[in-house]
Structure 1
């Protein structure tokens, strides 16, 4: 996937394309990392690349479940657990779960069809605005783009702290771009 979203023909296509792009760049932060590096927390926070990806998967699953009438009550114990890979979780398992979540998101949005469809807030989380009494698919997609982009930025910083790798050299390596005078694809040796 290129570094930019391509042409879009309508709002729904655009929102889904930007969410897909943010998922992609977040997943790229894990490219070439060992299981230990995926769990590393090299900054002042307890965040890791693998944990951030897992959290974004869980967040997307939760928001899309809410659009379809699922439970809206946050489980704060699970919320904290979703920021770390367990010893028996692999990044491949998390990626597969993320791919399933993406498919579910696209299917759900297509089935609802109306980006302005109102979904009542049944059990508001403490971080919700008090004047917000409903969600819409549009709002949820924009929130997921915001959430995923925020955590992709966190993951970029953590990844750079782990081994010095940055976004475009990682993308170049993952996609097999040739080396150029202004961009060298990341490698374990660099």
Structure 2
């Protein structure tokens, strides 16, 4: 996937394209990392690259449930666990889950076909605003773009702390871009 979203024909296509680009950029932060590095939390927080990717997959899955009007649960233990790779859990498993969730998000949005479609707000969980009566599909897609972009920034910092790699050299390496005077693709040290 190129470093930028291509031209879009309509709002729904644009929102889904920018969400797909955000997912891709987040997943790219794991490029070339060992299992140990994927679990490393070298910054001031307990965040790891693998855990951030897992969290975004889980978050999108939860919002997909919201779009489908499935009940939410305030499982705080599960929330903490979705920020870390479990013992024996591989990044390939997390990527496969994220890809399945992404495909289901795109399918569900296409089936609804109306970004203004209203979804009742579940007020039984503390993170939902009490002054809102409904979300829209548009709101949820924008929220997912924001959430994924925020956590990609976290993953960028963690990744740079691990081995100095930054987004564009990683993108260049993953996509096989040629070296230029101003951009050298990342290489393992």
TM-score bin, normalised by smaller chain: over 0.9
8 Å CA contact retained: 1:50, 1:84 = yes
Shift of 1:75: 1.6
Shift of 1:128: 2.5
The TM-score with structure 1 as length reference comes to: 0.97
Alignment of 1:44-63 (within 5 A): 44-63=44-63
Alignment of 1:40-189 (within 5 A): 40-189=40-189
8 Å CA contact retained: 2:69, 2:120 = no
User: Once the two structures are superposed, what CA deviation does each residue of 1:76-103 show, in whole Å capped at 9, x if it has no partner?
Assistant: 1101100000121000000000000000
Unpaired runs of 5+ residues, structure 1, are none
8 Å CA contact retained: 2:123, 2:129 = no
User: Once the two structures are superposed, what CA deviation does each residue of 1:17-55 show, in whole Å capped at 9, x if it has no partner?
Assistant: 000000000000000000000000000100000000000
Give the number of equivalent residue pairs: 189
Unpaired runs of 5+ residues, structure 2, are none
Query: Where do 4+ consecutive residues of structure 1 move more than 6 Å?
Result: none
8 Å CA contact retained: 2:67, 2:119 = yes
1:17 counterpart SS class: helix
Pairwise CA RMSD of aligned residues?
0.9
8 Å CA contact retained: 2:60, 2:144 = yes
- Residue range with higher mean Cα deviation, 51-60 or 72-81: 72-81
Shift of 1:124: 4.3
1:162 counterpart SS class: helix
1:135 counterpart SS class: strand
Shift of 1:74: 2.6
8 Å CA contact retained: 2:122, 2:128 = no
8 Å CA contact retained: 2:121, 2:134 = yes
The TM-score with structure 2 as length reference comes to: 0.98
User: Once the two structures are superposed, what CA deviation does each residue of 1:147-188 show, in whole Å capped at 9, x if it has no partner?
Assistant: 000000000000000000000000000000010000000000
